[in-house]
């Protein structure tokens, strides 16, 4: 049985604590507080006036703000700190200049040492090459007379029989082998005959008046010269052509002058 003393609650009626009821009340209040477009149109303001009011308000706030009072202790501390920083900066700049000067000196010394070493290396290589060339030239100069003897033998010896021809061919093969070795080393003979006389290459031992070659031309090679690459190994002994002597023209005979006729016979005739 139900207790009749308690009132029956209506489930559809919201209680004060019901959240749905509170949301509805708030929505009604917000709708009622909203302004209609006509109300907004009636409340329009001039934008120029709004800007002027804002500028005046900002000026008033700036003038009404209390100006900070300078603190002498803090100012002195800032000045002392700035002076200390300037002193440290000056010392660091002086130290940097000293280090830069030392770096420049060390760099210049290093460059001088590098240049001196490079010059020493080049000079050593050149001296080494010159010494090798001098040694080679001295050795080859001792062998050149042997080559001259082989050439004289080839030009003067005429084999008469098969035995002499065999001997001739045998020493000529040795001569050919020697010449090939000299060519591989860089020795080359000069061809002076018919060329202009050059005191750097030729050594004149004779002069011959001839019309076969122009004056100052090598007329004959008496001893062959040799070159070692671009260096003169031995100068060629040559005979230089000179202009032929002009024959003296015979002097014309001197005609005797006719003697003047004497007046003696005429005198005799007159006397007679």
pLDDT in tens, 189-214: 988 888 889 889 899 898 888 888 88
Domains for the chain: give ranges and CATH numbers: 189-244 (2.30.22.10)
Instruction: Report CA 30 to chain centroid distance, whole Å.
Output: 90
Is residue 265 predicted with pLDDT exceeding 60?
no
Q: How many helices (H) and strands (E) does the chain have?
A: 6, 6
Is residue 151 predicted with pLDDT exceeding 60?
yes
Q: For the chain, give the mean pLDDT.
A: 75
> What pLDDT, on the 0 to 100 scale, is given for residue 268?
44
Q: What's the whole-model pTM score?
A: 0.47
* Integer angstrom CA distances of residue 107 from 22, 64, 234: 90, 67, 50
Least confident of 31-45, 108-122, 214-228: 31-45
> What pLDDT, on the 0 to 100 scale, is given for residue 40?
43
Name the token pair of 190: 């000069």
For residue 263, which phi and psi values (nearest 5 degrees)? -95, 5
Q: Kindly state the percentage of the chain with pLDDT values over 70.
A: 66
8 Å CB contact between 199 and 216: no
Average pLDDT over residues 43-47: 56
Convert 71-97 to b/e letters by CB count within 10 Å (16 or more is b). eeeeeeeeeeeeeeeeeeeeeeeeeee
> What pLDDT, on the 0 to 100 scale, is given for residue 266?
46
**Owner of token pair 């000529």:** 172
Binned at pLDDT 50, 70 and 90, residue 157 comes out as confident
Least confident of 62-66, 102-106, 114-118, 247-251: 247-251
> What pLDDT, on the 0 to 100 scale, is given for residue 111?
92
Q: Alpha helices, DSSP H only, in 157-223?
A: 162-185
8 Å CB contact between 238 and 217: no
Name the token pair of 13: 């009626």
Average pLDDT over residues 107-132: 92
Whether the CA torsion 158, 161, 166, 167 is positive or negative: it is: negative
> What pLDDT, on the 0 to 100 scale, is given for residue 50?
63
């Amino acid at each position: 049985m139900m207790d009749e003393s308690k009132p029956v609650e209506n489930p559809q009626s919201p209680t004060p604590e019901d959240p749905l009821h509170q949301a509805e009340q708030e929505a009604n209040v917000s709708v009622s507080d909203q302004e209609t477009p006509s109300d907004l149109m009636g409340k329009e303001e001039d934008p120029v006036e709004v800007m002027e009011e804002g500028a005046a308000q900002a000026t008033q706030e700036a003038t009404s703000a209390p100006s900070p009072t300078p603190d002498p202790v803090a100012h002195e501390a800032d000045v002392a700190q700035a002076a200390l920083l300037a002193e440290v900066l000056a010392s660091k700049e002086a130290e940097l200049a000293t280090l830069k000067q030392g770096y420049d000196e060390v760099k210049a010394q290093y460059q001088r040492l590098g240049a001196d070493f490079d010059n020493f290396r080049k000079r050593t290589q050149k001296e080494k090459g010159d010494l090798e060339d001098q040694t080679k030239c001295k050795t080859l100069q001792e062998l050149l007379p042997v080559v001259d003897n082989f050439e004289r033998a080839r030009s003067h010896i005429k084999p008469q029989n098969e035995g002499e021809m065999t001997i001739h061919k045998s020493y000529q093969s040795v001569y050919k082998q020697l010449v090939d070795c000299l060519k591989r080393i860089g020795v080359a003979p000069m061809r002076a005959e018919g060329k202009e006389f050059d005191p750097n290459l030729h050594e004149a031992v004779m002069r011959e008046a001839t019309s076969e070659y122009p004056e100052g031309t090598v007329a004959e090679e008496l001893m062959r010269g040799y070159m070692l690459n671009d260096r003169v190994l031995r100068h060629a002994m040559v005979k230089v052509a000179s202009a032929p002597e002009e024959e003296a023209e015979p002097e014309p005979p001197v005609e005797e002058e006719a003697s003047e006729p004497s007046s003696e016979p005429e005198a005799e005739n007159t006397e007679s």
